[in-house]
Structure 1
Amino acid sequence: MRKLIVYIAVSLDGYIAAEDGGIDWLNGYPNPENNDYGYARFFATVDTTLMGYKTYQDVLRLADTFPYPDTTNYVFSRSPKPEAPYVTFTNGDNIPGLIQRLKAQDGKNIWLVGGGELNTAFLQHDLIDEMIIHTIPVVLGSGRPLFAGTVQKTFKVKDIKLYDTGVVETRYER
């Protein structure tokens, strides 16, 4: 069965973006090795992405073209959106039903790209199987949190990797 995996970077204080959605703090972090922190290896294991509308807008701002044209992409939005290349917009009324259908299909894993509100909704419904979190040693002080809301769930640490740059990759599983 396919897994639903969160793969994301966070600041030391748990933020995935600045208040305005900016990730300059992430792009500006020194990375002399030009290390992709396992991204290419991870991305080869997925064929479906899930993201909130704010995250989708951030993705479009960061790239000249949509970066996931060869995957199935769902964008969750509270209001109807016009059609767009490579994505299916959904209002998320039945998140558990959608994820059950996706997990039952043949294919690779499913990447929950974010953001914090969507991460929380999936966590509330016990839909996250694994999390791969890259902690960047930067304190933002405020911003968009990894989880936007109060939910208590327990995960088990599967692996920890320390990169020469100071970035810590922690893998968690349910």
Structure 2
Amino acid sequence: MRKVILYIAQSLDGKIARMNGDVDWLDKVHSVENEDYGYASFYESIDTTLMGNRTYEKILSFGIEFPYAGKENYVFSQQKGKHDTEHVKFIGDELTSFVREIKQEEGKNIWLVGGSEINTLLFNAGLIDEIYLFTMPITVGEGIPLFAGRLTERQLKLAEVSTYTSGVICKKYVMKKD
């Protein structure tokens, strides 16, 4: 079975973006040359991405080529009139059923890109298998939290901790099965 992996950065105060969705604060974190925090290896391990519409729209606003071309990309949106594009397919209903189905398909792992509402929905449904949480040494103040709303109580196992000279800490959590 494929795994759904939440691979995401947050500020020290638990924000994944500013209130307007900007992640410009990520560029303020000192980066060591040629340090990708394991991103290239992780990216090779997935063939599918999941994201919310606001996350997708923010990515488009960067004015760059779509960064996940060549992967199967699904955007969850309740907005009517969304049409599939060259790079993404829009999913409007039955999000948890859809994710359960694609987890059963053949393929590599699935990257849950975010945002906070989808993170919460999939977490509460028990559909996230692993979390790679990169805590950046910066505070944002007001912003969008890692999870929106109330979470189901769930035990996680800390599987790995990686520290970087930039001050970034990555904690890998694995969901404990009931």
1:73-126 deviations in whole A, cap 9, x for unaligned? 0000011213322100011x3222211211111100000000001100101111
| Within-5 A mapping of 1:105-116 | 105-116=105-116
RMSD between aligned residues: 1.1
Counterpart residue number, 1:44: 44
Counterpart residue number, 2:130: 130
1:27-69 deviations in whole A, cap 9, x for unaligned? 2211132411111100000000000000001111225211111
Rounded to whole Å, the distance in 1 between the matches of 2:68 and 2:47 is 9
Rounded to whole Å, the distance in 2 between the matches of 1:75 and 1:2 is 19
Quote the offset at 1:149 in angstroms: 0.8
- Provide closer, same or farther for how the CA distance between residues 83 and 103 of structure 1 changes in structure 2, counting only shifts above 3 A: closer
Rounded to whole Å, the distance in 2 between the matches of 1:56 and 1:138 is 24
Rounded to whole Å, the distance in 1 between the matches of 2:137 and 2:34 is 17
Rounded to whole Å, the distance in 2 between the matches of 1:14 and 1:86 is 30
Q: Which deviates the most, 106-115 or 53-62?
A: 53-62
| Within-5 A mapping of 1:85-164 | 85-91=86-92, 93-151=93-151, 152-164=153-165
Counterpart residue number, 1:75: 75
Counterpart residue number, 1:19: 19
Aligned 8 A contact 2:112 2:119 in 1 = yes
AA at the equivalent of 1:153: R
Asked if 1:33 corresponds to 2:33, the answer is yes
Counterpart residue number, 2:4: 4
Q: TM-score, with normalisation over the residues of structure 1?
A: 0.95
**SS of equivalent residue, structure 1 residue 172:** strand
Rounded to whole Å, the distance in 1 between the matches of 2:116 and 2:42 is 20
Q: Which runs of 5+ in 2 are unaligned?
A: none
Rounded to whole Å, the distance in 1 between the matches of 2:13 and 2:159 is 22
**SS of equivalent residue, structure 2 residue 97:** helix
Asked if 1:168 corresponds to 2:148, the answer is no
**SS of equivalent residue, structure 1 residue 67:** coil
Rounded to whole Å, the distance in 1 between the matches of 2:63 and 2:173 is 29
Q: Which runs of 5+ in 1 are unaligned?
A: none
1:115-150 deviations in whole A, cap 9, x for unaligned? 001100101111000000100011111101100111
Rounded to whole Å, the distance in 1 between the matches of 2:34 and 2:26 is 13
The percentage of aligned residue pairs carrying the same residue is 45
Quote the offset at 1:157 in angstroms: 0.3
